[in-house]
Amino acid sequence: MRVVAEGSCVAARGNQFCFREEWDSAVVAYSEALQACAKVGGNLQLTSTILSNRSAACARLGQWKHSLQDAEQVVPALLEESSQSKVLGIVICKVIRLLEKHLKIDR
């Protein structure tokens, strides 16, 4: 539990960086938070939130490929959750496809 709490604290630091629009620092903090969560097998909800936030920070930096990769990892986690989250997951999938189409992202 201590490691998950650590991941949550580091994620909160990432959120503070986002609030100040320090996107590079936010990406680093979210990456550290994901590592902390992975040490204990991860917490699905926390991991999904961190990935979503890191995806947004990468998008702000114009790192479309990284943003897309994180967003795609969030979708399966959402689909395992409630039906409301499934709808959100479907919407995210459609957004991802639109990004790929309009930004011509190579994988």
Question: Is the per-residue pLDDT at 103 higher than 60?
Answer: yes
Tokens 């609030």 found at: 19
CATH architecture classification, 2-103? Alpha Horseshoe (1.25)
Tokens standing for residue 32: 């550290």
Residue the block writes with tokens 């991991």: 47
**pLDDT tens, residue by residue, 13-32:** 888 998 899 999 999 999 99
The pTM score is 0.70
What's the rounded Cα separation, in Å, for the pair 20 and 18? 5
**pLDDT per residue as tens digits for the range 52-85:** 889 888 888 888 888 888 888 887 666 665 555 5
Q: Tokens 């902390």 — which residue?
A: 36
Give Cα 98 distance to the centre of its chain. Answer: 18
Distance CA 107, CA 2 (A): 36
- Domain ranges in the chain are 2-103
> What is the C-alpha separation between 103 and 100, in angstroms, rounded?
5
Note the pLDDT of residue 59.
86
Residue 50 identity (one-letter amino acid): I
